[in-house]
Amino acid sequence: MKTSPTLTSCNTLAPTLAIIGDKWTPLLIHALSQEPLRFCQLQDAVGGINPRTLSARLSNLEHEGIIIKVTRATMPPHTEYALTPKGTDLLPILRGMFDWGHKYH
Amino acid sequence: MKTSPTLTSCNTLAPTLAIIGDKWTPLLIHALSQEPLRFCQLQDAVGGINPRTLSARLSNLEHEGIIIKVTRATMPPHTEYALTPKGTDLLPILRGMFDWGHKYH
């Protein structure tokens, strides 16, 4: 019988913390939970982030396979960012973190 | 109608990250999920943590209301650490983080 994984090592939590432990990243992932957004829409959704930081966070999330860039064949074409299934799977965790913070702080 | 809270501010996630963003704390909380444990049992459960670090983490978790100290009237009396309801409410989040890390890394 295969046993279910247990929390025996901090290595099993480190990859998740590396993504969601950032100040802006949880908010960006949440902003993309409804629909793909353009760079400027993400800037509006996550008020206060500067463009350089936003660009760096998006590059990292793309590198990690959390989001993908989608080019729309409009005239002129434009680029949107969308969550991948790997990114979508983070949403319940973020929701849980938010609910806990909201309940107790 | 009261609207449900949304992830509009990083302040709503910061308290949760301040707790679970630590290297050892998620493992300590998980170790206490089954039953209250003594200091030396926690040391065994979370291999590699040094006593000074463990003591500091337990003090912080007690201060945050995540765990409580329980003194057993044995002879000699001994002290155990137990999760509070606030601490127990973190378990689904930790489980979600673990499952995500296990699935994708």
The residues that bridge with A72 in the sheet, in sequence order, are A78
Which H, E and C letters describe chain A, residue by residue?
Answer: CCCCCCCCCHHHCHHHHHHHCCCCHHHHHHHCCCCCECHHHHHHHCCCCCHHHHHHHHHHHHHCCCEEEEEECCCCCEEEEEECHHHHCCHHHHHHHHHHHHHHC
> ipTM higher than 0.90?
no
Residues 6+ apart with CB under 8 A from A78: A38, A71, A72
Give the best residue of A11, A12, A22 to mutate against chain B (max B CB count within 10 A): A12
Give the best residue of A2, A16, A46, A57 to mutate against chain B (max B CB count within 10 A): A16
- How far A73 CA sits from the closest chain B CA (Å)? 31
Tell me the residue type at B85: P
Q: Can you tell me the distance from the alpha carbon of A20 to that of A57, in angstroms, rounded to the nearest whole number?
A: 11
- Digit-by-digit pLDDT tens for chain B (105 residues) are 344 345 555 567 778 888 888 888 988 999 999 999 999 999 999 888 999 999 999 999 999 999 999 998 989 999 999 999 999 999 999 999 989 999 998
Which residues in B lie closer than 8 A to residue A32 (C-beta atoms)? none
Q: Can you tell me the distance from the alpha carbon of B25 to that of B30, in angstroms, rounded to the nearest whole number?
A: 9
Tell me the residue type at B104: Y
Q: Please work out, in degrees rounded to the nearest 5, the angle formed at the alpha carbon of residue B17 by the alpha carbons of A19 and B84.
A: 135
For β-strands B67-72 and B78-83, DSSP reports them as: antiparallel
Instruction: pLDDT band for A2, please (50, 70, 90 cuts).
Output: very low
B7 vs A30, A92, A100: nearest CB: A30
Residues 6+ apart with CB under 8 A from B55: B39
A97 vs B13, B30, B98: nearest CB: B13
Domain ranges of chain A: 21-104
B97 vs A26, A93, A104: nearest CB: A93
DSSP string, B81-103: EEE-HHHHTTHHHHHHHHHHHHH
For chain B, what percent of residues have pLDDT higher than 70? 90
The pLDDT mean for chain A works out to: 88
Which residues in A lie closer than 8 A to residue B105 (C-beta atoms)? 15
Task: Write out the two tokens for A96.
Answer: 């849980």
Residue of A nearest to B33 (CA): A7
Residue of A nearest to B87 (CA): A100
The pLDDT mean for chain B works out to: 88
CATH second-level architecture of A21-104? Orthogonal Bundle (1.10)
Mean pLDDT for the stretch of residues A17-41: 91
pTM of the model: 0.81
The pLDDT, as a whole number, for residue B48 is 82
Q: Can you tell me the distance from the alpha carbon of A62 to that of B3, in angstroms, rounded to the nearest whole number?
A: 32
Mean pLDDT for the stretch of residues A28-48: 93
